Amino acid sequence: MPDAVELIRAKRDGSRLTPTEIRWLIGSYTSGGIADEQMSALLMAIYFQGLDVEELTAWTDAMISSGERLDLGGLTAPTTDKHSTGGVGDKVSLILAPLVASCGAAVPQLSGRGLGHTGGTLDKLESIRGWRATLSNAEILTVLRNAGCVICAAGDGLAPADRKLYALRDVTGTVESIPLIASSIMSKKIAEGTSSLVLDVKVGSGAFMRDIDSARNLAQTMVWLGNAAGVRSSALLTRMDQPLGRAVGNAVEVEEAVATLGGKGPADLVAVTLALAAEMLRLAGISADPAAALTDGRALASYRAMIAAQGGDPDAPLPVAKHTTVVAAATTGWLRTLDARAVGVAAWRLGAGRARKEDPVSASAGVICLAKPGDMVEAGQPVLELRGDDPGRFERALEALAGAIEVGAQPPDPADPVLERIVGQPPGLELVS
């Protein structure tokens, strides 16, 4: 039987771990045979030494094998999904799942909750009266058959090793390791059972990956893992230097998502959504025009069917904050910068996000971008509207926005929200953070 301390030393000193050793490590940690202290040391060794392709494949496979796989084989429509690495105002999943479903695919989207300045899809949808995030496997299949798409929490039986490792990485300073990020995301998505997957890897101040080289490395690694596991995979690198759309929060993002599904969304949000939809449909082998589905009512109908199938009332009024305040432009000119991270932190401090996974969130808190980069603003014109139920939170939210708005004499250069498309390139031999 392998020895945990010897394997920690081996990885610390730059040696490769064999697939057998990795399977033993993941299995023993999941079952409680390896202590958190020992796995913390191994994670730190991986953070500094990386994992090569064979190690990463074995690590991901072991996490998948730690639990069950969702069987989607009984569905007649081709299955496809999307995963985003997270951003500010990123309500794309709320639009994309029903949009792609309305074009003929089945979309099983297992989503998560927000942490820090990035929002969580489940938190947003829980703004809707009666909507349920937790479904059994049988309920997931029923919603997929009836509505064509489902957005819900991953069950406890899906990649349980990742749940333990994710919590440990969060408190040991090893979150930023690219092989650990890639294996965490892909183990859950592969176990989900989808036939194809598109990864939306955000780049910029409001993203987890702030520079394009790191984002590209992560995207290539995840695409390679998906394809190696038989899941047709590709990735788009998309901008996250300003909030996506105009709403940042929970209920306010649901409201904007519904407007977009009705053909009235902001241009940047529509562009990213349609690019991802086209990529998902391509991988699923479906020839359809997602833009038409946004304008002819099909996408909105799919959304309403999904919400109702999960116990929600799509006609129920969304929560509205009791208090508001605004941040105005200091001078007249072109709005050049609206820092995504600062806006995300402000929404978080208003109550829309959480510092720890167990913290509650406010459905009504958030920030509305009354102007976006490229708009002309007058001195004193409101640029941001802050919303919340607790007026005591506004001071710290406003502090987060110091320096977030830049107004200049020239407009910013036009920027396509989609930066690159990644297909099939193998990752580097050493996948270090």
Do the Cβ atoms of 366 and 321 come closer than 8 Å? yes
Measure the CA–CA gap between 307 and 415, rounded to whole angstroms. Answer: 34
Strands 107-111 and 149-153: parallel
What is the arithmetic mean of pLDDT over 79-85?
96
Measure the CA–CA gap between 44 and 57, rounded to whole angstroms. Answer: 19
pLDDT per residue as tens digits for the range 321-356: 999 999 999 999 999 999 999 999 999 999 998 877
Nearest partner of 380 among 332, 335, 324, judged by Cα: 332
Q: What domains can be seen in the chain, in order of their start residue?
A: 4-50 (1.20.970.10), 81-315+418-422 (3.40.1030.10), 323-408 (3.90.1170.30)
Task: Tell me whether residue 433 is one of the annotated catalytic residues.
Answer: no
Question: At 25, phi and psi to the nearest 5?
Answer: -60, -50
Cβ atoms < 10 Å from Cβ of 37: 9
Task: Choose the catalytic residue: 124, 169, 232, 298.
Answer: 169
pLDDT per residue as tens digits for the range 84-137: 999 999 999 999 999 999 999 999 999 988 767 788 999 999 999 999 999 999
Task: Tell me whether residue 145 is one of the annotated catalytic residues.
Answer: no
Task: Tell me whether residue 169 is one of the annotated catalytic residues.
Answer: yes
For 83, the enclosing helix (H) or strand (E) is strand 81-84
pLDDT per residue as tens digits for the range 269-301: 999 999 999 999 999 999 999 999 999 999 999
């941040």: which residue's tokens?
Answer: 327
Measure the CA–CA gap between 60 and 185, rounded to whole angstroms. Answer: 9
How much is the pLDDT for 354? 81
Task: Choose the catalytic residue: 91, 113, 188, 232.
Answer: 188
Task: Tell me whether residue 362 is one of the annotated catalytic residues.
Answer: no
Q: Using DSSP, state whether 298 is helix, strand or coil.
A: helix
Measure the CA–CA gap between 272 and 257, rounded to whole angstroms. Answer: 13
Task: Choose the catalytic residue: 81, 162, 268, 339.
Answer: 162
Task: Tell me whether residue 162 is one of the annotated catalytic residues.
Answer: yes
Measure the CA–CA gap between 16 and 49, rounded to whole angstroms. Answer: 10
Q: Give Rg (Cα) of the chain.
A: 22
